Chains A and B, each alone.
Chain A
Amino acid sequence: MSIVRGGSIAAFAAAVVLTLAACSDSGTSSQSAATKALVLYASHPTAMVDHYVKAFEQAYPGVKVELITGGTGDLLGRVKAEKDRPRGDVLWGGSSTTGGSAPEFFVKYDSPALKDIAKELQDPTGYNAPFDAFAMVIVYNKDLVPEAEAPKSWADLGDPRWKGKVRFANPASSSSSYAALVNWKLIGDWAMVERLAKNMIIDESSSAPFTAVAQGEAPVGVAYEEGAYRVQKTGKVNIVYPSDGVVVLPGGLFLIKGGPNAVNAKKFADFVLSTPQQQALVDNFPGRRPASTAVKFPAGMPSVSQLKVLAYPTDEAKAQQKEWLAKWKEIMIATR
């Protein structure tokens, strides 16, 4: 029906070869190939994620970011479930323990941008690209809790008068909540954890506690630092840095092993660690502690030297995560 000439056969053959090459490339050794997408698993609040996605797409016009959001634990679960066929490139959220708890699913990355990142935030095992740092704090609603009666320390939250009034995200699905759990354990071991657990209402999203406090739906909540500052802007919320000590954790950003767009994943890590983007973090998202030492430290936020900082037992918290979460669940079972 159609006349096939030699030239078009050659062109067709060339196209087939190219297509096959492209397929095998993206299928096996994507490290070397520049792809047009980046699949980002992010558990951070949408406003900040959207900001960086937009900025990244502007900086790299050929790359389209496909965003998948959820709780950190949920997203880590996805990474694990997809280990035979990874679909994501970057897991962004939680803390350094998030990916550290499952190093077999991620690749090490020694970003050139790490030179300006604070030494104490850098991951000695080389997996995490620390984008920021955060402490866990207490927030309370000013209309519901007079300042004099507000909790001053973690231990205060164990007081029976807060029973059923403290909102806390499930540490099994939120890595920042897990950091809080470790924080309490450092102060008073499991007895302390149990005393606090009795008073908690458990949420399934780490934004839920401080949001409920800001909305006046709950008097007190446990929050990650940035969330606390975000809702402080409503004028309804006060932030308490507990006097019995806080932990300061590097935020988590991990490159997923075997992800389809490995080159773009590295570009993304370099991008968010770069000095201009670290400065953008300080300028646009109050409450975020920048990881870079090359930017201006945000005003209105206590620096680590002004706080009672407890050394975070990174290795132990990673190694024991499964046991400690099981223990937390035992406590939940016993106190519900």
Chain B
Amino acid sequence: MTARGSTPLRIDFWNVVTLAALAVFVLFLVYPLSRLLISSMTGEGGGGSAVLRTYVEFFTRRYYYETLIHSLAVSAIATVLATLLGAPLAYCVARFDIPGKLLVRAVIVLTFVSPPFIGAYAWILLIGRNGVITGWLAALGFELPPVYGVNGIVLVFTLQALPFVFLLVSAGLRTVDQSIEDAAINLGRRPASAALTVLAPLIAPSLATGALLVFVTSLSDFGTPMIIGENYRMLASQIYTEFVNEHGGNPAVASALSLILLVVTVGALLWQRAWVRRHSHGQETVRPLAPRALSPLARAGATAYVYAVVLAASLPLATIVVSSFLKGKGPLITSEFTLQGYANAIRLPSALYNTVMLSTVSTVLCVAAGALVGYVVVRRRGRLVAMIDTFSMVPYAVAGVVMGIAIAIAYGGAPFHLGGTVAILVIVYFIRRLPYSIRSVAGMLGQIGPQAEEASVNLGVPPGRTFLRVTVPMVMPALVSGALLTFATIAREFNSTVILYSGSTRTLPVEVFAQVLQGDFATASVVGTVLIAVSLVPIVLLFRFLQKDESVLV
């Protein structure tokens, strides 16, 4: 358990695990990202002087650099709006007696597990040029601004990101002690003013983490702008289009754009971490914040606010589920009830099988590796462990499309030839979700002292067996909830899947997207509803049988 800086590495169980963990990150993170970098500099006809040609092209042609400006602007606006809507939502639910809180929480979790871009086509069905609500309003003489373009993208990003802000602010509020608010009120602050001037700074780190997640998720989502953006082009969608059109040709442009997106997201992560370090307050929570009574009028206002936001956030999901039971007439959806859609979606069974199979395999690998690496990160010391710790932060900031392209370049062709196989999808899911597994195990182990393990080793049990017999049972709760969460997030994973799938490994999110692009909204809704159900099962298990609440999601 002590630093062994200069002594040579001995071959014991944990040294092997440490080296293996390092090998995993080098193979599946460092190597692919390096190949991406090389690929971005080897454009066609590129000689020594043309190494940076694609980058020069990017920053000198409006067609390209405009996508970066659009992405930054839209993501920033969505981040601000989601924070402004989500933080008060979390505060109201945490502090006030809002009727049906359980329902509110359930709906927010539901929107959290729904796949990206699903909101985009649902909003077209609702408030598109020929949308349901557009029709109702037109009958009343109102005209909605077009949902296409930047308006729609901001709307979808804001609402699909709300859960991040809600969950993180709720978690932040749980760490605030009641005595702080009491002190502020005793000094003459009104409760609302105390919330803004005293509580808000205390939960600033949680807010910042939520904002970062919103920002990075919005930057990474290319399905939404492709569906609802019309001519409003963003960086992630440009990457996807360039890669798909040059697939098998020369992915230099897609690689260069990917690296630019990577720099932006990693930059956002580093900046956020530095900011949090300067603004975090060490707190002891003895007495958590107590619910506060409100006047009937204020309570009605708070309830109305909570329900309005939750309704807006859940409307896309409701639309998809409802329209999955409606009859399609060509590309139009009628108001006739039918179950035929489920029978007609002929690729649904195989997509469902692929999703469940891939999610299960990847989850098992993630959780097993996460337990071992989580142990190493918490219990071991040394330069190698520090490197592993750093590497395990990187996937948080790599957009799915970027990771997908990097893995496609590194493993799709010679010499590995994994393109289109189950293995390549498992690799990308594994490396994208591993950090979450590591963190959940590390979080739990950090709270448990090493005494039990040391006693076991001192009694002569080898380290490997000690880990299985002593450590694993102790962190079992973290492993199980981590596994369920990993399953739910892999099942809805779209951004990297769509780069790497083949006909035989098509998953539910890919099938929804393909149907939306083809304009078959009826089938898209059927597949989307099944996908929502699949992502929901592990969450229900988590809440019902492990007595968890939504705080485990962040």
Q: Cβ of B331 and Cβ of A211 under 8 Å apart?
A: yes
Closest to B148 in A: A217
Binds A, one of B123-131, B434-442, B445-453: B123-131
A231–B231 CA distance with the chains assembled, in angstroms: 24
- A74 and B247 in contact (CB under 8 A), knowing A201-B230, A205-B518? yes
A68 vs B514: C-alpha distance in the bound complex, in angstroms?
Answer: 12
User: Quick one: given A204-B241, A215-B130, A217-B124, are A67 and B419 in contact (CB under 8 Å)?
Assistant: no
Q: Which of B170-178, B360-368, B410-418 contacts A (4 or more CB under 8 A)?
A: B410-418
Complex Cα spacing A68 to B351, Å: 12
Q: Please state if B517 and A234 are interface contacts (CB–CB under 8 Å).
A: no
What B residues does A205 contact at CB under 8 A?
517-519
Q: Given A77-B245, A77-B249, A81-B247, does the pair A234, B129 have CB atoms closer than 8 Å?
A: no
Is A120 part of the binding interface, using a Cβ–Cβ cutoff of 8 Å?
A: no
Task: Check if B504 is an interface residue, CB within 8 A of chain A.
Answer: yes
B346 within 8 A of A: yes
B332 & A215 in contact (Cβ 8 Å cutoff): yes
A20 CB to nearest chain B CB (Å) = 22
- Specify the main secondary structure of chain B where it touches its partner: loop
Q: Which chain B residues border A144 with CB–CB below 8 Å?
A: 129
Interface check B226, CB cutoff 8 A: yes
A80 and B231 within 8 A (CB):
no
B64, B503, B521 — which one has the most chain A CB atoms within 10 A of its CB? Answer: B503
- Which positions 341-374 of chain B face chain A at CB distance < 8 Å? 346-347
Bound together, the chains give a CA A78 to CA B346 distance in angstroms of: 23
CB closest chain-B residue, reference A102: B248
Asked if B246 CB lies within 8 Å of chain A CBs, one says yes
Tell me the smallest distance from the CB of B336 to a CB of chain A, in Å: 15
Of A41, A45, A336, the residue contacting B233 (CB under 8 A) is A336
A80 adjacent to B249 (CB under 8 Å)? yes
Set of chain B residues within 8 Å of A212, measured between Cβ atoms: 519
Selecting from A25-33, A82-90, A186-194, the interface stretch reads: A82-90
Q: In the complex, how many angstroms separate the beta carbon of A315 from the nearest chain B beta carbon?
A: 22
The 8 A CB mask of A31-57 against B (1 = contact, 0 = none) is 000000001010001100010000000
- A87 B502 Cβ-Cβ under 8 A: yes
- Does A216 lie at the interface of the complex (its beta carbon under 8 Å from any beta carbon of B)? yes
Residues 302-335 of B, flagged 1 when their CB comes within 8 A of A and 0 if not, give 0000000000000000000000000001111000
Q: Report the Cα distance A202→B521, complex, angstroms.
A: 19
Shortest A12–chain B CB gap in Å is 31
Contact A332 B519 (CB under 8 A): no
| Chain B window 489-526, contacts with chain A (Cβ cutoff 8 Å), 1 for yes, 0 for no | 00000000000001110000000001001111100000
Let me know if B248 and A80 touch, CB within 8 A.
yes
| Cβ contact within 8 Å between A207 and B332 | no
Among A83, A172, A332, chain B packs the most CB atoms within 10 A around the CB of: A172
Residue pair A336, B231 in contact (C-beta under 8 Å): yes
Find chain A residues with CB under 8 A from B420 CB.
78, 82, 87
Say whether A66 faces chain B, with CB atoms less than 8 Å apart.
yes
B416 CB, nearest partner CB in chain A, Å? 11
The A-B contact count (CB < 8 A) is 124
Return B310 CB to nearest CB of chain A, in Å: 27
Most buried by B among A41, A79, A81: A81
A336-B66 CB under 8 A given contacts A74-B247, A87-B420: yes
- How many angstroms from the CA of A144 to the CA of B128 in the assembled complex? 14
List residues 165-223 of chain A with CB under 8 A from any CB of chain B.
170, 172-173, 201-205, 207-208, 210-212, 214-218
The residue in chain B whose Cβ has the minimal distance to the Cβ of A143 is: B130
Contacts of A71 in B (CB 8 A): 244
- Complex: how many Å from CA A50 to CA B346? 8
Interface residue from B62, B64, B245, B330 paired with A172 (Cβ < 8 Å): B245
Decide yes or no whether B275 CB sits under 8 A from chain A: no
With both beta carbons as reference points, the residue of chain B lying nearest to A234 in the complex is identified as B330
B248 contacts A69, C-beta separation under 8 Å: no
User: Does A73 touch B at the CB level, under 8 Å?
Assistant: yes
Contact (Cβ within 8 A) A66 B517: no
Q: Is B59 an interface residue (CB 8 A)?
A: no
Whole-angstrom distance between the Cβ of B308 and the nearest chain A Cβ: 27
Q: Contact at B226–A68, with CB atoms within 8 Å?
A: no
Partner of A84, one of B66, B414, B504: B414
CA distance A202 to B245 in the complex (A): 14
Contact assessment for B518 and A77 in the assembled complex, using a CB-CB cutoff below 8 Å: no
| Whole-angstrom CA separation of A336 from B232 in the bound complex | 9
Verify if A267 is at the interface (C-beta below 8 Å from B). Answer: no
Cβ of B543 < 8 Å from any Cβ of A? no
The answer to whether A126 has its CB under 8 Å from any CB of chain B is no
B interface with A by C-beta (< 8 Å): 61-64, 66, 124, 128-130, 148, 226, 230-231, 233, 241, 244-249, 329-332, 346-347, 412-414, 417, 419-420, 502-504, 514, 517-521
A-B contact pairs, 13 of them (CB 8 A): A66-B503, A68-B503, A78-B420, A80-B248, A173-B245, A202-B231, A204-B241, A215-B128, A217-B148, A333-B62, A333-B63, A334-B63, A336-B63
Q: A71-B244, A218-B129 are in contact. List 19 more A-B contacts (CB 8 A).
A: A66-B503, A67-B347, A70-B514, A74-B244, A76-B248, A80-B247, A80-B248, A80-B249, A82-B420, A87-B420, A170-B245, A173-B244, A211-B520, A215-B332, A216-B129, A216-B130, A231-B331, A334-B63, A336-B66
Which residues of A does B touch, CB under 8 Å?
A: 39, 41, 45-46, 50, 66-71, 73-74, 76-85, 87, 144, 164, 170, 172-173, 201-205, 207-208, 210-212, 214-218, 230-231, 233-234, 236, 332-334, 336
6 smallest CB-CB distances across A and B, nearest first, come from A211-B519, A68-B503, A216-B130, A80-B248, A77-B247, A81-B248
